Amino acid sequence: MTRSVLSIGDLSASEIGAVLDLALESKRRSGPRGSELAGKTALLIFQKPSLRTRVSFELAVSNLGGRPLYLSPPEVGIGERESPEDVGSVAGRYCDLIVCRTFDQTVLERLAASSGVPVINALSDWEHPCQALADVLTIREHGGTSGRCLAYVGDGNNVARSLAAAAAGEGMHVRLASPAGYELDASSVEDAALRARESGGSVSTMSDPEEAVFGADVVYTDTWTSMGQELETKQRHEAFVGYQVDVNLVAKASPDAGVMHCLPAHRGEEISDEVLDGPQSIVLDQAENRLHAQQALMAWLFG
Ligand code: CP
Ligand code: NVA
């Protein structure tokens, strides 16, 4: 069966658990790498810039014995030069896996429907599921997930959507604080809450960052202006006043709380330098875990 991961909802909580167990096991094990992608080619189609996702996917594919082939934003022109269906059906003749970073989530769905090979979402405007896998892996390593509190402060965006569902599925108490007009949509909150009900976690939304962060074990933020939203920068800066994760806000969290950010960070906007570079920041472990989580995801999909 061709299994795609277009959103975090494509993986049940127990499947996420299995992928993360695999990631932890492979991190612990040194020595020979996997061979799940031996003789296979993964096409990486990126319509937006990337450091972490591109590098970690290329390395993860190689580590599993496969060959990564990267296409940069101007090269393919999905929906401009060719339809997603035409790109998908041709790519499926050459490659065994498509990893795609795009704007519209429907592009991923159309690629997956036409290509006949698994498609992995490497970030869309709607979701960032591979980021969420790495995030939950990182929280597991820094004190654990189940029963602990994750406060997300900022835009109810792609990162928040995937993270809320993944963390809720691991039994975390997820609090989301966003200004009016920038909240995570009600249906995504409900999807996360559904997972929480099964795992013993919870999901709550609020507008006050201090209420969200109070006593939290993990404090998470992301940019106020995501890729593709650059024209909204000014109005977003106005809307997000008071939402910076700075030392005063982090002081409201548990004294040993970890601070997370998917990166790239807009220093001095959603997070202060002092916090990002400070002793509670675990952003580099988080960035490293992109490699381990994605490698485990592909090993699981092809194993
Ligand atoms: N966090 C993340 O996806 O980073 P890149 O945009 O650099 O890939
Ligand atoms: N929300 C950000 C995440 C970048 C990794 C964006 O979509 O630009």
Three-state DSSP state, 8:
helix
**pLDDT tens digits for 57-106?**
999 999 999 999 999 999 988 999 999 999 999 999 999 999 999 999 99
50 C-beta closer than 6 A to ligand 1:
yes
Q: Which residue has the tokens 């299995």?
A: 18
Give me the average pLDDT of each 10-residue run along the chain (303 residues): 94 98 91 86 98 98 97 91 97 98 98 98 98 98 98 98 98 99 98 98 98 98 98 98 98 98 98 98 98 97 96
131 C-beta closer than 6 A to ligand 1:
yes
Instruction: Kindly state the tokens that stand for 272.
Output: 């202060």
SS (H, E, C) 120-153: EECCCCCCCHHHHHHHHHHHHHCCCCCCCEEEEE
- Which ligand sits nearest to residue 288's alpha carbon? 1
Of the listed 52, 101, 110, 173, which one is catalytic? 101
Q: Report the 10 Å Cβ neighbour count for 89.
A: 15
Cα–Cα dist 127/121, whole Å: 8
% of the chain exceeding 70 in pLDDT: 99
Residue nearest to atom 6 of ligand 2 (CA): 226
Q: Report the 10 Å Cβ neighbour count for 126.
A: 21
Task: With residue 250 as reference, give the H or E element that holds it.
Answer: helix 247-250
Distance between Cα 34 and ligand 2 center (Å):
30
Angle between helix axes 105-115 and 84-94 (nearest 10 degrees) is: 50
Of the listed 130, 262, 286, 295, which one is catalytic? 262
Cα–Cα dist 228/197, whole Å: 34
pLDDT of residue 124: 98
Task: Output DSSP code: residue 280.
Answer: T
Q: Is the peptide bond before 118 cis (omega within 30 degrees of 0)?
A: no
Find, among 142, 120, 166, 101, the residue nearest to 288 by Cα.
142
Pairing of strands 119-121, 97-101: parallel
**pLDDT tens digits for 24-69?**
999 998 656 789 999 999 999 999 999 999 999 999 999 999 999 9
